Structure 1
Amino acid sequence: MVPPIPPGRSFTVRSVVAGLAVGTVICAANVYFGLQTGWVSIMSMPASLMGFAIFKVLSKHLSFPFTPVENVLLQSVACGMAIMPLGCGLVGVIPAMTDLLKPEERGPLNLSVWQLIVWSLGLCYFGVVFAVPLRKQVIIKERLRFPSGFSTAVLISVLHDQGHQSQKELDAAAEGKFAALVPRDEPLLASDRLEEEYDDDPGEDLQDPKHDWAGNMRLLLICFGLSGLYTVSTYFLPVLRNLPIFGTVAANTWLWTLNPSFAYIGQGIIMGAETTLHMTLGAIVGWAILSPLAKSKGWAPGDVGDWETGSKGWIVWVSLSIMLVDAVVSLAYIALQPLLGKHVARLSSDVYGRLRSSRVGKLLRLDAYEYTPLRNRDDEHASQRDSVDDAERRQTLTDDLDADAPPEQRIGKKTVSIGLLLSIGLCVLTIYIVFGDLVPVYATVIAVLMALVLSIMGVRALGETDLNPVSGISKLAQLFFALIIPQGHKSSVLINLVAGAVSEAGALQAGDLMQDLKTGHLLGAAPKAQFWGQVIGATAGAIFSSFIYRLYTTVYEIPGELFQVPTAYVWIFTARLVTGKGLPYMATEWAMGAGVLFVFFTLIRTFSVGKAWRSWVPGGIAVAVGMYNVPSFTLARAIGGIGGWIWVHKMKRSNTPMIILASGFILGEGFLSIVNLVLQGFQVPHF
């Protein structure tokens, strides 16, 4: 008989190594997709799935079983790596600095791979350390939901067969939308998805609880191979990336093509129909209405695809206005929540009331609108709970929730204090090493301190809505720095970019760790192990993503046809706007009009959580992304979103195969794109 895992063994070398392996695949994919569209996939649940599969294959050779708390550590390491391309600004702010800064703005900068590594290491720690003191407040005391962390906990519990859950619980966890896409448009509330999943027949299991994981992994590998094969074929046949489905005139003149990428279809499955259709609405408004209008009126006389004089660059100002408005309204709501207590309480009551009556609510012992840790799930404990009356049971649950992890499993105050000082000092030092006197030390210090404040808002937003508004947070930082840095300063645009990047990094890392800590709290994992796992993953991700980014920028023209880095233009346009640069002709009027309109849309969405009609109100970030990305990516995502919705809601089929299919598609193209990178490096001819 295989001996059980030793007590307190939350941190194991094998989990860290497996997490780094899984994180490497996701990180490489995120550099590729980030440079194309600016979106990256954290993929916490696929990381848990892949990690479980690895140890399932090796189970006969293990000295003790692979446990849920090890899986929590594994996905913490993998996610720490996965977010680094975005957290270090390698898919947005760095291309803006190295390729889009004008000479009068002290650019463009030529950063070596070692400077990129130094910059990335400086940004990858302070957000992680700062998240630790927030944990007790938002997870233990306030018990914020963190729906993605909750869904990951359900999945891990099902994977390891705790309590013999059914396939339906796994599907419900999947409906929580596992891969937090950043920047993410909408709060994908696990509770709403779970309620829908259990409306029909809560007592029915779809299949035996011992799942056919060999079959699931076969599906993952098949999808990985198909997507990888398509990716390699696009190197030799580039036309596959831009099919003129609306005719050659629409394709050549107005950029209306379809990129039938398996990966973007997979992203659409993960995003869901609501988000992808809102993005499609943005594409229609931007590329089918505003772009022809700006061209015909002479507001954007250049080629449609030109960022400077064409309508592509003109409509991005409308997109930017929508993003800023959405961020300001959403974050203002989070900041003013204490004044809106009754409304928030009512929303929480409605959402949790539905969730706790579901099968998954019972699975996680959800009561009194709260989550209970999954540490004590044995039959004897369950029977004891059943024997007490309701009042005693409620009190027991409350006591369990208030109890933190054992002291030896927590991160010590000394570690946090020293770590925070060292990480802030490292950030200031590395930025000075990379940029020298171009970015004053006082500006970096202010940027870090402001990042810590904004990280609190980001973490709270993530806990309440499953939305970490990192793009909006970075834009708010840019707006703030426009007030403290004189417009005539010779490096004002560069300083503005650095300040936004620091704020985005802090909020992103703090939010990612907090989601993981929520998962760990529900499953009884040691916070200390997760913290060090995140640090290890962030370190590896900062170094690895810097190398991969430099490879792509060496081999490919960036920005170019394949890698258009649209978020880099959003960064640079924002910096120029807030530092006093003018907008193109008539862009101001249209941007203001769109901003006013989306103030109302965002307010309606904010105060209508849980309403059936909410999905019909356009989401600001999704619409904005549909505007600044060319339609080819948006259409592919829409196909995935609609296809996933039909599969689950119309055909009434299990969502698990769709998760596996989407994960295989994304990872296949993201990882096999390295083959195209090698082919391009050796200048292998295209057909």
Structure 2
Amino acid sequence: MPKEDRDSGGEAVGDEDVAAVEKAFEETEVPSWQNQITIRAMLTSLLLSFVFNVIVCKLNLSTGVIPSLNVAAGLLGFAIVKAWTVLIGKCGLLKQPFTRQENTVIQTCVVASSGIAFSSGTASYLLGMSPRTAAQADTGNTPINVKQLSVGWMIAFLFAVSFVGLFSIVPLRKVMILKYKLTYPSGTATAYLINSFHTPKGAKLAKKQVWVLFKSFVGSFFWACFQWFFSAADGCGFSSFPTFGLEAFKKRFYFDFSATYVGVGMICPYMVNVSLLIGAIFSWGILWPVIESKKGVWYSADLPGSSLHGIQGYRVFLAIAMMLGDGLFHVVYMVIVTGKSFLQRRSQTSLLNESTDGQIANFDERQRMQYFLKDQIPNTSAVAGYVLLAAVSIGVMPQIFHQLKWYHVLVAYIFAPILAFCNAYGCGLTDWSLASNYGKIAILIFSSWVGLENGGVLAGLASCGVMMSIVSTASDLMQDFKTGYLTLSSPRAMFFSQVYGTAIGCLFSPLVFWFFYKAYSVGDPEGSYPAPYALMYRGIALLGVEGFSSLPKNCLKLVIMFFIAAVLINLLIEILKKYETKYGIYRFIPSPMCMAIPFYLGAYFAIDMCIGSLILFIWEKKNKKKAREFGPAVASGLICGDSLWGIPAAILALAGVQAPICMKFLSASTNQRVDSFLSA
């Protein structure tokens, strides 16, 4: 799934697949937890965190579809430190070899930092508070429900809420990893990747992957640079190329030559990309033309295109209906699965006795158990840390958001650990993190509680940040503990790197966002960075404070239909998963969440991603082994190169430097009129 519902980080790799590798490291000394956290690891993490924050920010602001970047983080971390150690080793100055534990620390830190870029809400709930987004929503556009964005309060907000979640789940680490042996597919896959990098055979493959990634990165960067020269104004350049004709272009069906989303499409599962395209065809090809034919009947013909009381309202609220239907289904389903699994496990044999090696299956398990239990984080420290940080947040939040009272924040922090456990446990079973869904539920509850006149829109959006930060961070940390368990990395080193990465993310995420916010018209539905989730999250808050009175005519009927349809589609998928196993029909049913994303944006990025899927599909048909080995490296290079061009492009925009050429496409009749005008 795209990261709007935090996705799988890669293919699930069972414990038995990873177990065999421990023998290969039998003669390798495991460094102490202090030596796993090196200066070179911290500097590498800092550099890669900046790169990944730029990537995630750009993806957030353009479409909101973010693939897992775990593989790229692990691979780039390996490449940078390995190159440094080889260079220092040739000079005879190498004091400490590069270990898989150090690689794990880097990967954990970078993913934690880029995770903050997602959960920080700079492209969703925080941007939804801004006057730019409020102006599109019409209703609720009052001073008490709008907040001017600034770097200062955004950084303060993130530091106040982002660390609490780290302490909420720490006391349960042994229960999750050792007692219940939860899989955490992304964490397991990442551990498998890092372990393979540091075996002799894996190191050779990693070097080839790094070279492929570098070539892909350079090509993508210079392609983005080349495109810039033709984009002197809005609607110019390759990003506005009417691939399927001008009429299709008006309906947002075109290929925009984005290397980023071609790369994203190579990483995301095929059905995600197909679901996006199906959603785009259904909405922009069928549904919106039908509703637009009711202009003047269902809604006023005089409304601007961005008004939520016009066609834009149908686009936004029907997308919200499908997202809420999908999200609520998965929340309820996950609670049922979690509860059932939890009760079953409690009735089985309890935790493996830490002091009895006779119960430990083999050498690999003994090694992992030993190092996982070696450097413990006291539970009292974790509980004290949660209480202290929650108290600080309860004091700080009302100072930033006057609409949110201290008792609102207290209620959120009372229930958050329960939701964090549910999310972390469910993520261990299925690799689904439902952080954004818990955030949307929080918006509805708190915005309704505070009310429109008292600033309920802002209160709901701010409470979303509190809930998302805790729930998302908790599942991420448990994934990292699983990775550390399988790479013999110290839990203390894992926790420290998570804290360090979170701190970097709290600083970099607002700064990178502010850079884009000042350089481009972020939030403009017709611009390069429409930030679709900002208006959608504000729309959810408006539903909370105003109920359904804010919807255009007949929109409520459609909202109910689409909500029910999303629930039924998910129910059908789960039933087929359980009872129809011969043909795997459920694999061909589109995801409602993915279908909803293009309702607002159109098909252009879905076409990009489907082209990425097509490239990978053809590659797998020709050489499946090479496609599996080098596909993620090519995709990561495409994403990194194209995204990083955004930095020099933004600098040029801030400096007032325009591209020299405007490449624009006109119909033949329009072109004749332009020629006649110019020759007159």
Q: Deviations over 1:192-234 (max 9, x none)?
A: xxxxxxxxxxxxxxxx655244432222122112222222333
In terms of mean alpha carbon deviation, does 521-530 or 241-250 score higher?
Answer: 241-250
Paired residue for 1:79?
111
Q: Identity over aligned residues, as a percent? A: 24
Aligned to 2:490: 526
Aligned to 2:46: 20
Pick closer, same or farther for the CA change 1:446–1:235 going to 2, 3 Å: farther
Question: Is 2:250 the counterpart of 1:282?
Answer: no
CA drift at 1:572: 0.5
Task: Name whichever of 37-46 and 77-86 sits farther off.
Answer: 37-46
Letter in 2 for 1:507: V
* Correspondence for 2:78: 52
Matches within 5 A, 1:204-353: 211-238=204-231, 239-252=237-250, 254-298=251-295, 299=298, 301=301, 306=306, 308-337=308-337, 340-341=340-341
Deviation, structure 1 residue 407:
4.8
1:151 counterpart letter in structure 2: A
- Unaligned runs of 5+ residues in structure 2 are 1-26, 89-93, 135-139, 232-236, 662-680
Q: 1:291 to 1:105 in 2, by over 3 A?
A: farther
Is residue 540 of structure 1 aligned with residue 515 of structure 2? no
When structure 1 is superposed on structure 2, of 409-418 and 66-75 the one drifting more is 409-418
User: 2: distance between equivalents of 1:649 and 1:246?
Assistant: 27
Q: Secondary structure, in 3 states, of the residue corresponding to 2:546? A: coil
In the alignment, is the contact (CA less than 8 A) between 2:276 and 2:597 conserved in 1? yes
Return the alpha-carbon distance in structure 2 between the equivalents of residues 76 and 284 of structure 1: 39
Matches within 5 A, 1:151-166: 151-161=189-199
Q: Check if 1:563 corresponds to 2:529.
A: yes
Are 1:646 and 2:618 matched, yes or no? yes
Give the whole-Å Cα distance in 2 for the aligned partners of 1:302 and 1:416.
58
Counterpart Cα distance in 2 of 1:344 and 1:679: 60
Match runs of 1:477-492 below 5 Å: 477-482=442-447, 484-485=449-450, 487-492=451-456
TM-fit CA distance, 1:116: 1.4
Distance 2:611 2:303 in 1: 28
TM-score between both structures, scaled by the size of structure 2: 0.82
After TM superposition, give the deviation of residue 467 of structure 1 in Å. Answer: 1.4
Structure 2 partner of 1:618? 590
The yes-or-no answer on 1:137 pairing with 2:130 is no
For the residue of structure 2 that corresponds to 1:71, the secondary structure is: helix
In the TM superposition, what is the alpha-carbon distance from 1:160 to its structure 2 partner? Answer: 0.5
- 2-side partners of 1:407 and 1:399: how far apart? 12
For residues 455 and 5 of structure 1, what CA distance do their matches in structure 2 show? 32
Cα distance in 2 for partners of 1:325, 1:340 equals 22
Q: Compare 467-476 and 640-649 and name the one that shifted more.
A: 640-649
Distance in 1, Cα, partners of 2:610 & 2:294: 30
Alignment check: 8 A CA contact 2:372 2:489 kept: no
Task: List runs of 5+ in structure 1 lacking aligned partners.
Answer: 165-207, 346-367, 374-384, 386-391
Give the aligned partner of residue 605 of structure 2: 633
Q: What is the alpha-carbon distance in structure 2 between the residues aligned to residue 339 and residue 679 of structure 1?
A: 54
- Asked if the contact 2:61–2:123 (Cα under 8 Å) also holds between the matched residues in 1, the reply is yes
**1:533: Cα distance to partner?**
0.6
Tell me the residue number matched to 1:466: 431
1:113 and 2:151 correspond: yes
1:100 equivalent in structure 2 = 133
> Does the 8 A contact of 2:320 with 2:540 survive in 1?
yes
Residues 1:659 and 2:632 aligned together: yes
Is the 1:303–1:311 contact (alpha carbons within 8 Å) kept by the matching residues of 2? no
Measure, in 1, the Cα distance between the counterparts of 2:597 and 2:430: 19
Task: Provide the C-alpha distance between the structure 1 equivalents of 2:98 and 2:445, rounded to a whole number of angstroms.
Answer: 48
Please say if 1:88 is aligned against 2:120: yes
- Residue identity in the other structure for 2:502: A
Q: Residue 549 of structure 1: which of 503, 506, 513 is its match?
A: 513
Contact 2:419 2:471 in 1 (8 A): yes
Residue number in structure 2 paired with 1:424? 390
1:87 is matched by which residue type in structure 2? Answer: S
Q: How many residues align?
A: 597
What does 1:402-417 correspond to in 2, within 5 Å? 403=369, 405=371, 407-417=373-383
Query: Under a length normalisation based on structure 1, what TM-score does the superposition of the two structures give?
Result: 0.81
Call closer, same or farther: CA 1:214–1:539 in 2, change over 3 Å: same
Write the distance in 2 (CA, Å) between the matches of 1:599 and 1:317. Answer: 16
Instruction: State the distance in 1 between where 2:77 and 2:398 align.
Output: 39
Q: Residue by residue, what CA displacement relative to the aligned partner does 1:50-102 show, whole Å, maximum 9, x if unpaired? A: 11111221233232221111111111111111112222111111111013235
> Which of 508, 511, 514 is 2:475 aligned to?
511
Cα deviation code 1:461-519 (max 9, x no counterpart): 2111111122211111123325533x354211111111112111212111211111111
Deviation at 1:441, TM superposition (A): 1.5
2:40–2:81 contact (8 Å) kept in structure 1:
no
Report how far residue 666 of structure 1 moved.
Answer: 0.9
Whether the aligned pair in 2 keeps the contact of 1:243 and 1:259 (CA below 8 Å) is yes
- Whether the 8 Å CA contact 2:280–2:595 is kept in 1: the answer is yes
Report the Cα offset of residue 286 of structure 1.
Answer: 1.5
> Within 1, Cα distance between the matches of 2:509 and 2:636?
20
Asked if 2 retains the 8 angstrom alpha-carbon contact of 1:140 and 1:402, the reply is no
1:244 Cα deviation (Å)? 1.1
Would you say the 8 A contact 1:31–1:548 is kept in 2? yes
1:123 CA displacement: 2.1
Q: Does 1:604 align with 2:572?
A: yes
Helix, strand or coil for the counterpart of 2:165?
Answer: helix
Q: Say yes or no: does 1:476 pair with 2:441.
A: yes
- Cα root mean square deviation, aligned: 2.9
Q: Distance in 2 between matches of 1:289 and 1:574?
A: 25
Per-residue Cα deviation, 1:231-268 (whole angstroms, up to 9, x for no partner): 2333332321122122112213x222222211101111
Query: What are the superposed Cα offsets for residues 401-454 of structure 1, whole Å, 9 maximum, x if unpaired?
Result: 99464555121223212221222123223322322x322111122223333332
Q: Confirm or deny: 8 A CA contact 2:338 2:425 kept in the other structure.
A: no
Alpha carbons 1:3, 1:64 under 8 Å: kept: no
Name the CA shift for 1:406/1:661 in 2 (closer, same or farther; >3 Å). Answer: closer
SS at match of 2:36: coil
Q: 1:586 Cα shift?
A: 1.7
Task: Report the counterpart of residue 234 of structure 2 in structure 1.
Answer: none
